Amino acid sequence: MKDYIDIYCERVDGAFWSEPVNAVSNAFFLVAAFMAWRLMRKEGVSDIRALALVLILTAIGVGSFLFHTLATGWAQMADVLPILIFQIVFIYSYGTGVMRVSRAKAAGLLGIFVVLVAGFAQLPASWLNGSLSYAPALIMLGGLGIYHARTKKAAPYLLLTAAGTFIVSLTFRSIDLAVCDILPIGVHYFWHTLNALLLYMVLRALIVNIRNN
């Protein structure tokens, strides 16, 4: 019985550097967090919601690095929890900071997200290599992206572009195990790279619109 979690092509044993590409590619999350922080300074934004998301984005990179090196149960939680927290904080922050709705209505947006999460949780976790768990985030991002474009916010198509990027990154995450025979290191690192880009885009959409409020 393995004493480590092995769910990606690149890992062949329990060694710390058994997933070097998957591990190192998490640096893109740190780059994205730095760029978002620099954008906040450039735009003169000191909003606590945006700063919190920058810090959570940093935690995503650190947590994912821990999981792809240690491959333990607690490291997996360190990988998954910051991603979930980012989704929750972003939806609420977008509602109050960009849509400018009340806290109660922003909580309603979170309620929709929770319902979607609960619904997709009823489907087999093995489908699409577990990527269905991210479907609620994609649906919410697409919906907010449509709102963002139709209301002509600053950078109006940025969230829709992020949603399109999310579809591509989910595709790479879903096919990782399927390509092991062809490409032994897999393609999971594209999930990291593209997600770092899309998370920067959603943060940028938030930052430039909070500035304009």
Mean pLDDT of 88-94: 98
> How far, in Å, are 38, 79, 188, 201 from residue 132 at the CA level?
33, 17, 15, 22
Q: Which amino acid is at 71?
A: A
**pLDDT > 70? residue 1:** no
* pLDDT score of 128: 87
* pLDDT score of 105: 97
DSSP notation for 97-124? HTS---HHHHHHHHHHHHHHHHHHTTS-
Residue 2 lies in a domain: no
Mean pLDDT of 121-134: 89
Q: What are 98-121's pLDDT values in tens digits?
A: 999 999 999 999 999 999 999 999
Residue 4 lies in a domain: no
Residue 1 lies in a domain: no
Confidence of residue 213 (pLDDT cuts 50, 70, 90): low
Greatest CA span in the chain, whole angstroms? 56
Q: Which residue has the higher pLDDT, 130 or 171?
A: 171
* pLDDT score of 2: 76
Distance in angstroms (rounded) separating the CA atoms of residues 53 and 1:
38
**pLDDT > 70? residue 18:** yes
Mean pLDDT of 136-142: 98
Domain with 123 in it: what CATH number? Answer: 1.20.1070
Residue 162 lies in a domain: yes
Residue 9 lies in a domain: no
* pLDDT score of 211: 72
Residue 7 lies in a domain: no
Mean predicted lDDT score pLDDT of the chain = 96
Residue 10 lies in a domain: no
**pLDDT > 80? residue 212:** no
User: Per the structure, how many domains does the chain have?
Assistant: 1
190 membership: H or E segment, kind and range = helix 188-212
Give the structural domain span for 122.
Answer: 20-212
* pLDDT score of 129: 86
Residue 8 lies in a domain: no
Q: What are 142-192's pLDDT values in tens digits?
A: 999 999 999 999 999 999 999 999 999 999 999 999 999 999 999 999 999
What the block records as the tokens of 169 is 């990154």
